[in-house]
């Protein structure tokens, strides 16, 4: 018999189900890794193997992060890359990243996941596209298992170095046949297509300016042969558009279509400069977008037309992006930034707090092609988080605790449950010891920087 868990008495529980209920005095009852009942506390069973009282808390479905490069937490705020735009930023960081080791991948992935989990995220993807010195995606996958996060591991890749007209140095690019072979190995070894999967694999060449046309096409064929998703960066800034026009005589959206990189099994990061024809194409084909507002602001890439995308029917999710181009991996902070940036670009009606939360939950689930996360309802995964409304940052905002989550300064979770397992209890990670992890991460970051 699966272990049962009862969470009850929440000030308000946000379901994000079809009815978009916000249940005062709400709670949920789970058996093993799935939710059996959601409702007011009086409607739920009275006991369970584990009972958690959430008086004074707001409860939401776990947030979903759809774009990240977790290894980059080792190179936050590196001076030459602090003030550049995308291409300058990349070219100053590539030489540092060439020193990555398998231990660095494992430790930085756990560090990045700890930061995400403490900020309300329960499912994350990670896009690892650089594999020097024997690094493998297996290193990230092992880290996710240790900390207990639901994980979509993206097998990234770069194959076109400087000598062939690409952006990365030749020393960090890989052979295309080897990339495809490794992607196939990873899918066969790890990908779980079932509902409630804790681990899925996606095929994810880094970007159109770091791999060949052939690799993009063959990646799509491989992913579709196995029924896994495809992910890359697209239309990030104006230089990206210029590169695409010059190199392929197409806009990034036209290039994506030409390569077969559109469809409900594809999601693209950024799309800041996606044009109207691109928005229509993405809507028509169900192609997803990972919106990364902090990164877009940090690199001055522009303001993604999220209102227009959503109105047209494009599936939009959120991503914190790599910790070097955001420098923070705070998921609730990203939700807040999405709302603020939409308003800077398109006025105060461009996004509401509840819509921002919807993008970060249901939006993430849709973009990752999942029907088992993003909402709290019977039959869904037991992934939920609770925030303590007695925190100083919420004072004066308790007439609308749901909007307070987004409008007030980003809070840390008091409780996080992933796949029915308590991962954060009373604000502390329950699955690993954070102090030694931060210490090791800092030592490795110093080594990588050559200090």
Interface positions with Zn ion (CB under 5 A): 321
C-beta of 218 vs 321, nearer to Zn ion: 321
DSSP-assigned letter for residue 71: G
User: In terms of DSSP H, where are the helices of 347-433?
Assistant: 353-358, 364-367, 401-407
Give the whole-angstrom CA distance, residue 79 versus residue 89. 10
Least distance between Zn ion and beta carbon 179 (Å): 18
> How many other β-carbons are positioned within 10 Å of the β-carbon of residue 284?
12
- Phi, psi (deg, nearest 5) at residue 228: -105, 165
DSSP-assigned letter for residue 144: H
C-beta of 232 vs 416, nearer to Zn ion: 232
Least distance between Zn ion and beta carbon 280 (Å): 24
How far is the first Cα of the chain from the last one, in angstroms, to the nearest whole number? 53
C-beta of 174 vs 321, nearer to Zn ion: 321
C-beta of 71 vs 282, nearer to Zn ion: 71
Q: Which residue has the tokens 């008091």?
A: 414
The angle formed by the CA atoms of residues 264, 316 and 119, to the nearest 5 degrees, is 120
Least distance between Zn ion and beta carbon 260 (Å): 21
Least distance between Zn ion and beta carbon 244 (Å): 17
C-beta of 321 vs 334, nearer to Zn ion: 321
DSSP-assigned letter for residue 166: -
The H or E element containing residue 143 is: helix 137-147
Least distance between Zn ion and beta carbon 194 (Å): 28
Task: Report yes or no: 210 and 167 within 8 Å, Cβ to Cβ.
Answer: yes
C-beta of 240 vs 321, nearer to Zn ion: 321
Least distance between Zn ion and beta carbon 292 (Å): 7
- Phi, psi (deg, nearest 5) at residue 194: -75, 160
Indicate the residue whose CB is closest to Zn ion. 321
């Amino acid at each position: 018999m699966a272990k049962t868990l009862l969470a009850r008495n929440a000030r308000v529980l946000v379901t994000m189900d079809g009815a978009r209920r916000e249940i005062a005095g709400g709670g949920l009852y789970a058996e093993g890794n799935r939710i059996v009942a959601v409702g007011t506390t009086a409607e739920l069973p009275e006991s369970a193997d584990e009972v958690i009282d959430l008086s004074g808390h707001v409860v939401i479905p776990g947030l979903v992060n759809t774009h990240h490069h977790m290894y980059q937490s080792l190179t936050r705020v590196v001076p030459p890359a602090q003030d550049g735009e995308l291409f300058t930023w990349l070219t100053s960081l590539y030489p540092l990243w060439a020193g990555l080791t398998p231990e660095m991948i494992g430790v930085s992935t756990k560090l990045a996941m700890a930061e995400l989990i403490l900020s309300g995220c329960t499912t994350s993807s990670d896009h690892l596209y650089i594999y020097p010195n024997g690094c493998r995606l297996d290193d990230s996958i092992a880290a996710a298992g240790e900390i207990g996060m639901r994980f979509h591991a993206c097998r990234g890749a770069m194959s076109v170095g400087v000598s062939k007209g690409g952006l990365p140095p030749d020393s960090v690019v890989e052979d295309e046949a080897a990339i495809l072979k490794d992607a196939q190995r990873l899918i066969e070894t790890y990908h779980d297509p079932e509902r409630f999967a804790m681990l899925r694999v996606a095929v994810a060449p880094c970007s159109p300016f770091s791999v060949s046309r052939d690799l993009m096409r063959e990646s799509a064929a491989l992913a579709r042969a196995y029924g896994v998703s495809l992910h890359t960066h697209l239309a990030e800034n104006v230089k990206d558009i210029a590169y695409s026009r010059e190199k392929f005589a197409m806009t990034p959206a036209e290039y994506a279509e030409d390569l077969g990189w559109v469809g409900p099994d594809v999601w693209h990061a950024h799309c800041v400069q996606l044009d109207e024809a691109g928005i229509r194409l993405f809507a028509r084909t169900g192609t997803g977008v990972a919106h990364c507002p902090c990164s877009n602001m940090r690199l001055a890439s522009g303001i993604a037309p999220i209102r227009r995308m959503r109105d047209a029917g494009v599936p939009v999710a959120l991503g914190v992006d790599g910790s070097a181009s955001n420098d923070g991996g705070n998921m609730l902070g990203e939700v807040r930034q999405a709302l603020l940036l939409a308003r800077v670009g398109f006025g105060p009606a461009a996004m509401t707090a509840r819509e921002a939360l919807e993008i970060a939950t249901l939006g993430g689930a849709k973009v990752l092609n999942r029907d088992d996360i993003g909402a709290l309802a019977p039959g869904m995964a037991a992934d939920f988080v609770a925030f303590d409304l007695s925190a100083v940052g919420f004072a004066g905002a308790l007439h609308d605790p749901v909007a307070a989550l987004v409008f007030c300064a980003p809070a840390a979770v008091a409780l996080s449950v992933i796949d029915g397992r308590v991962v954060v209890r009373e604000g502390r990670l329950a699955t690993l010891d954070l102090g030694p992890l931060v210490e090791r991460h800092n030592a490795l970051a110093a080594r990588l920087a050559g200090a």
